[in-house]
A and B are shown apart, each in its own frame.
Chain A
Amino acid sequence: MPGYSPDVSVPDIPLAARVALAHAYAQALAEDHGVDLLHIKGPAATPELRGQRGGGTDVDVLVRPAHVRVWMAALAADGWSIDTDFTTSSVFEHAATLRHQEWGLMDVHRRYPGLDRDPEATFTRLWSGAVSRPIAHYPCPVPEEVAERLILLTHAARSAHPELHADVAASWGAADAATQGAVEALAADLGADVPLRIATGRAAQVAHLPEAAVWLAFEHPEDRLGEWQARWRSAATARAKVTVVVRGIAVNRHYLEAELGRPATGTDLARAWWHRAGALGHEVRRRLTERRS
């Protein structure tokens, strides 16, 4: 056979292939450290629920809350660095984004917004029904299909126009009555009724509930103050409200360092904090002006 010279090389790998391999890598690493995690979205998703996004652009995993500390340490030891930590990732503080030179990006979910009334119990429920799906020929645990639909729908509830979200059409609109009923039953069990109704065009049924405020704020993604006000209304305790205020003006050290291209000093953090607090103040003044006019 002419030119028969088998070779191994390390050129660029297409994104979809790299993401699939990275899911398998994550699963093997989790097994080595005794960590329970579920693979969600991208190549972990049921094909008919993937919409047009295909293989995804990063690895998404939902980790058993009690195992998060071990998992983050395992990733750090294997060369992963934090892009965004849990407390600065989103209004829900649910996920950290990590980066690896060869594997790319991974979103580590310590809980899932809308399914976070009792994160440990939710994970146990999802884990008990999990099924094995080969990703890059490696068996990976994924949520069973009803849970997968609910995860996609609660994710869609965080968009400005959930009713237009492709996942709603695939996970709800195309589902038969029995499947929709199963999704609703699971949502009721896990405390996800509010985001499910918002995602499926029934926001009016839950808009009066305190926990709906933070979800309905996503209708106006440009409105940072509205988001924090909604979060304030949804925070259940005085302690939680104080945390909301501190986080509302906290600076994401990781973003700042990426922007600066060097470790942030105390002066850098103070300057960025002042800028962010000023921006929030500007938003308050704009609101007051609008009310007066």
Chain B
Amino acid sequence: MTRYRPARAAWIVQAIGDSPVVYAAALAHGRPLVLADSAALIWIALTDCTHPATASEVAEALAAEQGFAAVAVLGDVSAFLDELVDHGLATH
């Protein structure tokens, strides 16, 4: 089971209207990126985890927060966590 944790990164959480937005950069050679809406929620859930988390655990944390079934978003969450790894923002 793959576990994810934030990589060496900087980030800021802001709200635009009702939606969260995260400005983040992998350090030291990543460039600033914007994670909007659900991307921001996944990032926040990942950084809130006190230990390296599986995609299921992140999806469950989101589900508990947002009020939907974890299984409904597990595929998207898993794919996005891999995308974060590609951008250098998360690591296995």
Contacts and interface: CB of A to CB of B under 8 A. Distances in A.
B6 to A, nearest CB: 9
Nearest to A33: B28
Contacts of B9: 137-138
Contacts of A4: 38, 72-73, 76
A10 B12 contact: no
B14 A137 contact: no
B14 A14 contact: yes
Interface size class for chain A?
Answer: 20 to 34
B11 A13 contact: no
A17 B76 contact: no
Contact of B87 (A8, A103, A135, A137): A8
Interface in A1-60: 1, 3-11, 13-14, 17-18, 20-21, 24-25, 27-29, 31-32
B10 A10 contact: no
A102 interface: yes
B38 A25 contact: no
B8 A13 contact: no
Contact of A78 (B23, B29, B38): B29
A21 B32 contact: yes
Interface of B: 8-12, 14, 23-25, 27-29, 31-39, 42, 47, 66, 68, 72-73, 76-77, 79-80, 83-84, 87
